[in-house]
Structure 1
Amino acid sequence: MQAFIAVAETESFAEAARRLGLSPPSVTRAVATIEERIGTLLLHRTTRQVRLTEAGQRYLLDCRRIVAEVEEAEAAAAGDHAEPRGSFTVTAPVMFGRIHVAPVLLDFLDAHPGVSARLALLDRVVDLMDEGFDVALRIAELADSSLVAVRVGTMRRVICATPEYLAQHGEPRRPADLADHPVVLTAPLVNLGEWLLDGPGSPGERVVPQARLIVNSADVAVTAALAGRGLTRVLAYQIAPELRAGRLKILLEDYEPAPIPVHLVQLGGRRAPARVRAFVDFAAARLRRTLAEIAAI
């Protein structure tokens, strides 16, 4: 089952063999043995591609569950104080994951030599069960689900520009003033080109800024703002270094909408493998401090 899981996740017998420290023929035989035993083809194989059949997709979910339960049973038999062992998978938004989650994960692996991990940085909501992830960092309101969520903080949505730009073009004092400024919009935060503002006397006001550029990367939007090309709206962590250095200034703070909650979500809750629970506890403590520092800028 471990061989089958590795092939399904890597879409390669050779890569699966490298992951498991086995020879490619042994991995091929392991998968063929499963298929022969159950009498069903689990993988479509070509010279260029390996992909799951419909039966293979269903079987993969069961294999992941069974292997996790076996590993948890072994950990329980070893005792509650045994060092966490085994592998787990984490996903997070690209920029936040690169800046904040990856360093936390590396420190966790340093502290637990028997654990390995896979980190996937994706700017979309990942279905943990269907896609085989154990933990996800989510900056969003959470829908009701079977997932267990640990809140680690909140994140502001802020409008910003450089002091030099504001000295030359003036600083907007109310939402209507945005019409006088060019704006770089980031696609993940765009809702039909509208910004929701929530200030005194104008709760839930929707403003349509004059977009000179629309991008799907906050990095590009921040670069454009730093170059004096106008205003942009991003999540506060995405400009934290620039705010500390005074290279960008937050605007219209009185009109910011409510901050977005930030959670670590996981499958299984307290029944999750010890390594997953240990990572969530470790990451939650670190991320709470980080997010509190960003909120205080």
Structure 2
Amino acid sequence: MAIDGGLLSGLGVVAAVVEAGNFIGAARVLGLTQSGVSRAVARLEQRVGLRLFDRTSRAVTLTDEGRRFYEEVAPLLAGIEDATAAVAGARTVVRGRLRVNVDAAFGHYVLSPHLGTFLARHPELELELVVRDRIGDLVAEGLDVAVRFGDPEPSGLIRLRLAYYRVVTCASPDYVARHGLPQHPSDLLHAAHECIRIREPFTGRFFEWEFQRGEEVLPVDVGGRLVVNDAGSLIGALLGGHGIGQPFEFAVRELLDAGRLVQLLPDWSDEHYPVHVYHRSREHPAAKVRAFLDFLQTLA
């Protein structure tokens, strides 16, 4: 079977442009000139009869047709890399560049502390962690994996539920000394209490406060003068004694153990929030993606 080397080369250039986000970065990775990358893309566009990229002076992005085209060929390119490694006697070698889109709280408190272990296990792998508020378009942005909290987002991506993480209600000892301990979730509606709310960056809605005791679920429409949109700001405000918040337990476990924060309403702390992993390969994800998915399972 004859293989068109020019076609494969062009596909590789397109993949490099998608991952780098521009022609300059792709040229650096491939060891070509920027004009050489541009010509290679133009030849492939002429070959397939599609305009693959929208080009401006500031950015290069996939067109709708280009995104669909790349979505089809990216797994094939990854399969060629894996097959080449296998023939070379390196079936277990994970190599190349892995780009992961991750929720800030999960990335900071769960994933990042363990990445040294993962990279030490795969010395030929380069990992780029991209902190984002939402999944976005993995294909168009050259991302391999996304990790997100909450209910599954509608998409054509492959989705795996990784784990459930507990939500805790807490405040600083200073806040408790000034305002007292709430005895029931409904006590948070009292004007004496300040609740720190989190606004979901993509929808603009506030995350709802729920309290769960066994099968009983009690939503509470709390109020407060401070609104944040990330876990770091929430925890900083809690430590400063401003009010009551609902962070993930993994983000404040050490602070609770050290007494810098106090858990409130522990009998109503059965609420857990799901985290999902998304990837774009429909059938056979690349070895680097499989390795990362296996690694995530060890953190659950």
Q: TM-score range by the shorter chain?
A: 0.7 to 0.9
Letter matched to residue 161 of structure 1:
A
| Alpha-carbon contact 2:161-2:276 (below 8 Å) kept | yes
Quote the residue 1:195 is aligned against.
209
* SS state at 1:8 partner: helix
Quote the residue 2:297 is aligned against.
284
Superposition pairs of residues 203-282 of structure 1, within 5 angstroms: 203-268=216-281, 271-282=284-295
Deviates more, 1:137-146 or 1:108-117: 137-146
Unpaired runs of at least 5, structure 1:
289-297
| Alpha-carbon contact 1:129-1:267 (below 8 Å) kept | yes
Flag the structure with higher strand content: 1
How far apart, in 1, do the equivalents of 2:62 and 2:207 lie?
39
How far apart, in 2, do the equivalents of 1:50 and 1:138 lie?
26
| Alpha-carbon contact 2:75-2:286 (below 8 Å) kept | no
> What percentage of residue pairs aligned between the two structures are identical?
35
Quote the residue 1:124 is aligned against.
134
Divergent runs of 4+, >6 A? 143-146
2:117 is the alignment partner of 1:107: yes
TM-score by length of 2: 0.82
Across the aligned residues of Structure 1 and Structure 2, the Cα RMSD in angstroms comes to 2.9
* SS state at 1:89 partner: strand
1:63 positional shift = 3.0
TM-score by length of 1: 0.83
Cα distance per residue 1:263-294 (max 9 Å; x no partner): 44445488222222222223322x13xxxxxx
2:146 is the alignment partner of 1:136: yes
| Alpha-carbon contact 2:157-2:279 (below 8 Å) kept | no
Deviates more, 1:80-89 or 1:124-133: 124-133
How far apart, in 1, do the equivalents of 2:153 and 2:261 lie?
34
Unpaired runs of at least 5, structure 2:
1-10
How far apart, in 1, do the equivalents of 2:35 and 2:28 lie?
12
| Alpha-carbon contact 1:147-1:269 (below 8 Å) kept | yes
Change (3 A) 1:63 1:271: closer
Cα distance per residue 1:174-207 (max 9 Å; x no partner): 012112311111113996574222237x922221
Change (3 A) 1:128 1:217: same
Deviates more, 1:245-254 or 1:49-58: 49-58
Aligned residue-pair number = 285
Deviates more, 1:177-186 or 1:191-200: 191-200
1:170 positional shift = 0.7
Cα distance per residue 1:234-275 (max 9 Å; x no partner): 111222332122110111121124312334444548822222
| Alpha-carbon contact 1:182-1:229 (below 8 Å) kept | yes
| Alpha-carbon contact 1:186-1:217 (below 8 Å) kept | yes
* SS state at 1:47 partner: coil
1:68 positional shift = 1.4
